Structure 1
Amino acid sequence: MTEKRSGEESGTKTYYRSDRFYSEEGGWFAKLREGEELGPFDSKDEAKQALADFIELYKNESPEA
C-alpha cells in the first residue's frame, strides 16, 4: 500500500519513494530533497530523529508556516 502526500493526485502510475536513510562506512545518513545529507549518526534511529528535527525546523522557518 502506498500513501499519497498532500497535493499528490491519484493516478494510474505508481511512484515509489526511495529510502532516505542509508549506512556508509559505519555511519547512518539521511538524504534531503536538495541532494544534501545529514550525518553521520551512530544509528538509523538517530538519523530518523535528526531528519524529523530538520523538517520541523524548516517548517517553522518557512514563510507559509
Structure 2
Amino acid sequence: SALTQRDDMRQVREQLEEAEKQVEELTMWIKRLAHSLRNARPNSKLHGAAMNYLSRKGLISVEDVLR
C-alpha cells in the first residue's frame, strides 16, 4: 500500500541521513588524527596519504589538504 511505501521511504531516508552523519564524523576524526600525526612525525607520508584519500573521495576540499 501507499502508506507502507511511505513508511519504507522514510526509514530509508533516516538510515541515509544517519550514514551521512557517521561519514562526516569519521572524516573529522581522520583529519584530526592525520594532523596530529603530521605534528608528531613530520617525515611520515601517512598524513598526506590520508588527506589525499579524503580529497579523492570528495570528503574534504583541496584547501583542507593544503593546510
The answer to which structure, 1 or 2, has the higher relative contact order (CA under 8 A, 6+ apart) is 2
Normalised TM-score (structure 2) = 0.32
Q: Which has the higher helix share?
A: 2
* Higher radius of gyration, 1 or 2: 2
TM-score (norm 1): 0.33
Task: Answer 1 or 2: which has greater strand percent.
Answer: 1
